[in-house]
Amino acid sequence: MPLPAKHFLRGGVVFVCLLACGAAMSQQISPVTNMDSRFSQPAAQRPLRKSELVRQLPDLAARSNYPVQLEAVVLALDVNRDGLMAAIVQDATSPIYLWLNSTAGKKMQVGHRYRITGIAQVGDFSRNIVEQKSVDLGVGKLPEPLRPSFEELVNTGLNCDWVELEGVIRPTGPLGLQLILKGGHVNLRLAKREDFAAVMARTNAWVNLRGCVIPYRTSAGQVTGAALILVPGSDFVLMKKAAPENLFALPATHVADWLRFDRRKEFPWWTKLSGQIARVRGNTIFLLEDGYGARCLVADAAGLSPGDTIEAMGLIEFAGASSLLRDAVIRKIGHATLPPARRVTVEDLLPIRREGTNVEQSAQLVRDGSRVEIEGRLVSVHPADSELILEMQANLRSFQAIVPARGSLNKLPPAGSQLQLRGVVATWEQSAIGQFSAFDLLLNSPEDISILQLPSRWTLRDALMLAGGLLVLVALAALWIFQLRRRVEQSTRQLRVEMNERQRVENRVRALEMQTALEQERTRIARNIHDELGARVTKISSLAEAGPNEMPPETKRKLQEISQASQQLVRSLDETVWTVNPGNDSLANLLDYITHFAEEFFRDTPLHCQLKIPVDVPEQPMSTELRHSLLAMVKEILNNALKHSAAQNIVISARLDGGRLWLEMHDDGRGFSVADAASGNGISNLRSRAGQINASVKIKSEPGKGTTVRIGAPLMDKNEIAPI
Amino acid sequence: MPTEKKSAPESTVSVSIVEDDDWLRQDLAKKVRLAKGFRLASLYRTAEDALKQLPDEAPDVVLMDIALPGMSGIECVQRLKEKWLDANVLILTVYEETDKIFAALRAGASGYLLKRSSTEELLEAISDLHEGGAPMSSSVARRVVKFFATEAQPKPEAEALSAREREILDLLVEGRANKEIADRLDVSVHTVRMFIRRIYKKMHVHSRGEAVARFLKK
């Protein structure tokens, strides 16, 4: 079974049913298939006597062949394509559909009253009655008709009801007729085919007609919003106003004038509008008329295109912002270039509503159907039927631009482009002027699109990837910095340790350098004194010696003493310089100097000195202190020997043994008692000095047997570094 | 040019003095001049002047101060010996500084003397030197021993020390006097002196050609 094709026009309230009348009728009759059920009626049941009760019969009861008996007036007769006959009858309660079976029934006349016996049965969406026996009760009285509006006609569940309607008769194809009502149109079905020509003759005439409502329903029993009027005969169609002889001869009206009309006054007659087509969309033509826009609904828009100048004849319908010329007949007059579109912003169309402000004061007034130019950013494109829908965005508001799909797909700019569009404003809702809640911009072709700016190559994806990349970089950098900082801290610690160590070494080196510098300075000063003083004392010595021979002996002796004292002074200086000079800090130097000292010391003395000091000694460092102390001790011993021993010979010997330097002074003098002399200054000085350098002193002497003094001094380990 | 010059009898020992200290120079000159058998040949204030004149003048003995301004006495000896191989130089020092004395001996000096020595000692030392002798103290002897043991490099023209020389050197190291050595070896003192002179010469030959700077560093 064909489903009614439904064409839904957005923003509109008009439903146009294209369902064929025959198909609608088959809906009604298809359930009546089993004629045998008429004879299996349960005798025990009392028949239903009101059609209303039949209509209200529950499904279960309706299926059990409930008997019906009622008296009703025939409103209309009907014959379907299969030749089955039916009637719509009405009793005191409600109309009902009646399948005619009896001979009497098949001869029913409209307006006659019958006693009808039959059984109730279930139709697709309502109860009806299968007639078994009818008795003509003569001419009855037709009920007072209902006068529903178009809305009520299609939406309030009228079924078989007797109605009276006013409108314009229009043909739809060779065998179809329509009645154009305020708000819509309904198809007409004439009970008697021979009446068609008579009614057709009233095309474009204003008529008043009566008939029964037969709603179009789906197979599931749902209302489709369209209806068929079964007109019993041409005598039920009364002409109230004849059709104009030449439709287009009527004077043209202006939309501006329409808008001044009082909507409550008489339903307007045919209206003529002259204008230019701005856009054709399906069966809707957007017409430009003297600065205003109007929509024309036509049965067929084929052959019409934007730019065409036309005359439209139709019926005005006011629906909010839209000015609609419905069921229009078009006559093409010519063609011209469309006028430039008015430049508006999206705010003009979709203004922000603020408390206490009049929208019209802050925005341009844009009417539905006017042609505008508007800017926006293309968000996306998606196809819909034969159109492409461009989702647009401008200043946080969204709208759709609709362009015919044919030849457009490849010419559209990429998403993200900033576009300037020219098209017709089609509001979604017909609310108050200038207060659209949404609108479409209807473009004729891609030529109505100007690209202001192509999308930046930075897409969201790119930006996200960049952000991600940057994030990774930042993370890496942070990690790097963290590690660097750790490394720097480590290095700093290490460096600090190294610096401390270096500082220590430097301090040590500096101390050494300072010591060396001090020593050098000391040596320099000593040497200066030594050289300078030495030269002068030498002069004194010479002067003292070179006295004249004839001077008195006393004087001569004194001069000689001066000379000797001077020479001792020079020796002392020499000794001091040797002692303080760190260059002499070795065993070899000490032994050389002892040799040198002994020679000088015993020069010009009666004491004969023999030296047993090895020439070749191992390299052995020796501290200044040790060197100085040992020399001092040797001097003390030699001095004692010279002064007190009265010896003729003295032997000075040196040897190395057991890590010690052994120095021995032996004279052949008169000797002394060691015990007696121990308390004397000479020996205690000697021991005191020895103690300071950790040396041993052994004195061996007996009266008359000479004296031997032995010093044992510890030598430094060669590898040992002198402590600082 | 010599600052002073005097003529004297042929039998005397001619002496030149190189000393920068005026008083000392005059004092030494006076001592030489007044002594019998000595003749003052010339006086020099600097080593440079002395080096120019001395080879021509050829005195018997040159008294050379070590600490001279400009060229040192040691360098002067070395250069003088290069020009005049037979020069007899007696080094004068304030102290018995072994290092300097030893360096001067290697440079070619034949003997040394402390400046504070008496007139007798001075004249004796000059005579000794003139007669071919040479003084050698124990400490200098120690240096000489060490020199021949370690520093001296074998050279074609250089002779090693003889056994007798070595013997004498060892006795000198012990501090024995020349007389004592002569007695021990049953030779004359003069012979001992001659030996010592030969030791000095050998040392000088061994040292010849070495940079003067090396001595000066000491």
Domain segments of chain B: what residues?
Answer: 13-130, 138-217
A206 phi, psi to nearest 5 deg: -90, 120
Bridge-based pairing of strands A176-181 and A184-190 is antiparallel
pLDDT of A128 > 70? The answer is yes
CA-CA distances (angstroms) from residue B216 to A20, A531, A592, B67?
143, 17, 20, 11
Q: Which residues contact A618 (CB under 8 A, 6 or more apart)?
A: A587, A656
What is the three-class DSSP state of A495?
helix
CA separation for the pair A307, A371 (Å, rounded): 12
Token pair for A274: 């002259």
For residue B29, list its beta bridge partners.
Answer: none
Q: Which helix (H) or strand (E) segment is B58 a member of?
A: none
Query: Which of A566, A596, A601, A652 has the most B C-beta neighbours within 10 Å, making it the best mutation to test the interface with B?
Result: A596
Q: Which residues contact A588 (CB under 8 A, 6 or more apart)?
A: A617, A619, A620
Angle, CA A250 vertex, CA A248 and CA A256 arms, to 5°: 105
Query: Is-contact A598 A652, C-beta < 8 A?
Result: yes
Token pair for A612: 């047993």
pLDDT above 90 covers a percentage of chain A that reads: 18
Determine the angle formed by the axes of helices B73-83 and B47-57, rounding to 10 degrees. Answer: 30
Write out pLDDT tens, residues A34-62: 444 444 445 557 888 888 888 888 877 77
DSSP state letters, A266-277: SPP--EEEEEEE
A600 touches chain B (CB under 8 A): yes
Of A69-78, A447-456, B148-157, the range with the highest mean pLDDT is A69-78
pLDDT of A80 > 80? The answer is no
Token pair for B122: 């001075």
Domain B138-217 has CATH 1.10.472: no
Query: Is-contact A108 A140, C-beta < 8 A?
Result: no
- What local confidence, expressed as pLDDT, does residue A44 receive? 57
CA separation for the pair B143, A99 (Å, rounded): 164
pLDDT of A25 > 70? The answer is no
* Residues in A touching B98 (Cβ below 8 Å): 592, 596
pLDDT of A485 > 60? The answer is yes
User: Of the candidates B118, B97, B50, B58, which has an alpha carbon nearest to the alpha carbon of residue B78?
Assistant: B50
Give the confidence band of A89 by pLDDT, cuts at 50, 70, 90: very high
Angle, CA A463 vertex, CA A457 and CA A465 arms, to 5°: 115
Token pair for A340: 């430039």
- CATH code of A21-241, in short, is 2.40.50.140
Write out pLDDT tens, residues A109-126: 999 999 999 998 887 678
CA distance, residue B101 to nearest chain A CA (Å)? 12
- CATH code of A342-453, in short, is 2.40.50.140
pLDDT of A32 > 50? The answer is no
Domain A585-714 has CATH 1.25.40.10: no
The CB density around residue A696, as the number of other CB atoms within 10 Å, is 14
Domain A342-453 and domain A585-714, same fold? Reply is: no
- What local confidence, expressed as pLDDT, does residue A678 receive? 66
Superfamily for the B13-130 domain: Response regulator (3.40.50.2300)
pLDDT of A23 > 50? The answer is no
pTM check: above 0.90: no
The residue extents of the domains of chain A are 21-241, 247-335, 342-453, 457-584, 585-714
Domain A247-335 has CATH 2.40.50.200: yes
CA separation for the pair B138, A652 (Å, rounded): 13
Q: Which helix (H) or strand (E) segment is A36 a member of?
A: none
Bridge-based pairing of strands A184-190 and A162-172 is unpaired
A444 touches chain B (CB under 8 A): no
Give the confidence band of B2 by pLDDT, cuts at 50, 70, 90: very low
Residues of B with CB under 8 A from a CB of A: 21, 23-24, 27, 31, 67, 94-98, 115-116, 118-119, 137-139, 142-143, 145-146, 149, 173-177
pLDDT of A544 > 80? The answer is no
What is the three-class DSSP state of A513?
helix
Does A611 contact B94 at a Cβ distance shorter than 8 Å? no
CA separation for the pair A650, A672 (Å, rounded): 16
Write out pLDDT tens, residues A210-220: 999 988 776 66
- What local confidence, expressed as pLDDT, does residue A365 receive? 72
Does A599 contact B27 at a Cβ distance shorter than 8 Å? no
